Every structure is written in C-alpha cells, then in structure tokens.
Amino acid sequence: MGMGTALVRTAFLVDAVYADSVRHFDLTVQQAQLICILMARPYGMFELAKTLGLAKSSITGLVDRCEKRDLVRREPDPGDGRASRVALTAKGAQLADEFHDETTRRIAELPLALSESERATLVALLSKVVTDNRVPVVFTDGQCPSSQDCAS
C-alpha cells in the first residue's frame, strides 16, 4: 500500500469511528468539533470560523443551534466590547468531556495490533505530520506542550 492510499484509508477508518461517536451522542460532526474546540477556552466567532474552516454565516448558525441545545453560550469579549466569545455551558462541558473521552478511547483502540514500540513510533510520526501541516486544534488529548498549541 502506498503512502497516499494508507493515509486516505486511515482517515476513512478514523472518520467512521468519529461518525459513530457523533451519532451515539446525538451530535453533528460540526457540533462535536465545536464543543471539543471550546474545551480549551472560549473562542471568538472569527477564531471559530477560521479553525473550523466555515463562513461567518455558517458559524453563526452552528453556534445558534448549539445555544438552543444549551451546549454553548455567548459572553462578552473582555478585550472588545463590540464582540462576543463562545463558551461551553455546564451541560456542554459535560457532553464535550464524555464525547471526547469515548471517542479518544475508541480511536486509540484502532492500532492495538501494533506493539507498544510501534504505537509510540506511529504517534510520533503522526504528530509530526499534523504539526508540520498546521492542522487546527479541533481535538486534543490535554497533553499540549504549550498553551499556544492547544489554543491555535
């Protein structure tokens, strides 16, 4: 199997597990991404749109739908009186924790046929690919080397 094929098929495998978790928790993929991003801290609407790769109108609709489900709330931005930030509610934080823990556990089981050394090598190599390609932080394991890595 070539590199491109292996990566695409791995993405397909991870996407399938992620999609199953999303259904189990009665979320959409974008809602799950939003609440996982907000686990680190509140974000401004522009930051959220940029991180999720969504247009301003799309992020507004996503936040509106999550607000109606009491998963997020808008709060004043202390640095800009005209802007607001989006933060998790208590219900949203609980759901984010449960979704994150379950999804991380299920995805971490995928390479269990590898030895411990092979898994460590896989993590190191995938981490380098993600870092080198500046993949937005939409999912973290809480082990960010700096707050910049978790917040960007």
Relative orientation angle of helices 29-37 and 56-68, to the nearest 10 degrees? 90
**Domains assigned to the chain:** 3-151 (1.10.10.10)
With cut-offs at 50, 70 and 90, classify the pLDDT of residue 88. very high
pTM of the model: 0.81
Spatial CB neighbours of 44, under 8 Å, sequence gap ≥ 6: 77, 83, 84, 85, 86
pLDDT tens for each residue of 40-76? 999 999 899 998 889 988 999 999 999 999 999 999 8
Specify the 3-state DSSP secondary structure of 105.
helix
Quote the CA–CA distance of 69 and 139 in Å, as a whole number: 21
Tokens 């790769």: give the residue. 53
Per-residue pLDDT band for 104 (boundaries 50, 70, 90) equals very high
9-50 pLDDT per residue, tens: 999 999 999 999 999 999 999 999 999 999 999 999 989 999
Q: Which helix (H) or strand (E) holds 76?
A: strand 72-77
Nearest to 44 by CA among 89, 80, 95: 80
CB 35 within 8 A of CB 88: yes
- Give the pLDDT of residue 142: 55
Per DSSP, the three-state class of 82 is: strand
Per-residue pLDDT tens for 117-148? Answer: 999 999 999 999 999 998 777 666 654 433 33
User: From CA 89, how far away is CA 70, in angstroms rounded?
Assistant: 7
